[in-house]
Structure 1
């Protein structure tokens, strides 16, 4: 799937804060999306079009080490660039699961055990691509950037972008610019507490949105209540399929997730006075199963008049949104990158 071919108004900026402009005005960005289930890479043109794309499964298991995962990522990037004819690059933009130190991007993703102890991702990429600007942000923040730059939030100044998948994350655009916060982790809606006595979360807390609504958490909740999937490695996709077919436990799981997300969005909207919440990630593809209880819970909890103006919409850029947003860290740095 490719992004839109129409450039944003005003056009992207090619100035670099951490290296000279690279590759010429039409050069693509090497964009990377690192998540708990997949590693994806693309060459993204200045107008946001995905010109080349490849992905591999994220290696899992307790025996996968940090260097093995890095070698898999290297292989993916080398193959993508080589197959495209080794074009000059404008830079490298990357979204990765968090948390991370920022902007140094020593990453400790909760859903990638091999890198949970602070893998120096930005330093490694800078060594591999010397002379190019290398920018890294949280993967959900990259989705938020993409939806503001070219997607469902285009033309709006106050946007929440969310990913609901293996984890739940988000990013905030306020006043037309990305909000980083004190440590680069602003917008991490997955750790808003929606059930104070709810399930334990990988962050160490309890009742976080991520603990309730992430795909693996939904599967575990449904299994405990009698749902029996056909495959031993069941996913949220299989759960949603059974919910569509009328399985009561599967349907209850999806409703529980949707309501938790709606409650979290209501809280974020009251705090930030948002215009649009764009929801992406694998579970967002389930449509009404997730969005109907989400809208219901939002209406129940968003009681201030200004909050009720928020539009909750599916992310417009699909599964390449994170890659497009990672490229925007280079192409549109005036709005989305404020670090060195």
Structure 2
């Protein structure tokens, strides 16, 4: 069943924050008590215990389950490519979407291995956004349409949502969004992306500096409109629709995590139901994770995008729940406790 969440205006999200579901603390406490009763020293499974408790709080159940995991990959093209920020032509975005749909990409294999149903949604690839160094990347209406497309793609019967992206030039978009929300210098956020050389990195830094300077003093989803892309807006929409349905989210690496920085600018609590699947080797991701106060599930030196790191993290999450739900308590096993 698809989500019926719809945002009517970019600034309407501010008023919705208080009405969105919150974590169920009673379920979290029950899950924590269960963890402490299982046949292991308390805390011996480390982060796996915390992941199980996290899932319990959002499912509102002492023993959370993952019967269906949904993976969504959104794709878009970007006007900022006019600034020479990427070594690949924009045609690659559509070509990779075709590869996703035919099952030939890494994300296809990782979703299959870790039990996620994958959907790929291309967003007006023949109409790139505008160059944000000369004006807003998107109008409010374009941003809202992409946001609501992402929201409508969420299956409310899923117990967890994996998010990923594809878009030539979108590592520059990620750097600009991060810089606009968290400050610092453009060079703090810019990396090599899909393989930019030194001159390409210099062009990326210049583009981010000019874009952020041109569009300064904005708030919330207005930042998304002027500096973002359609796939970033769709990711934001999917995150909020998932929150409305109490579905935990696993974000992918730098680009996917940067996509939701404008939501953090609206209210940091909008991301309480989100995990970050992995720490990208893109240099801006470490700084971004610190700004978001998020600790990634994995650190595997990955930088592919597509939702690939989030899909691997799903396997860890499934392992956490298998231990949480399947292990015997000390009383059940007849083992003496401490």
Normalized per residue, the structure richer in helix is 2
Normalized per residue, the structure richer in strand is 1
TM-score above 0.5: no
Bigger relative contact order (CA 8 A; separation at least 6): 2
TM-score (ref. length: structure 1): 0.31
TM-score (ref. length: structure 2): 0.31
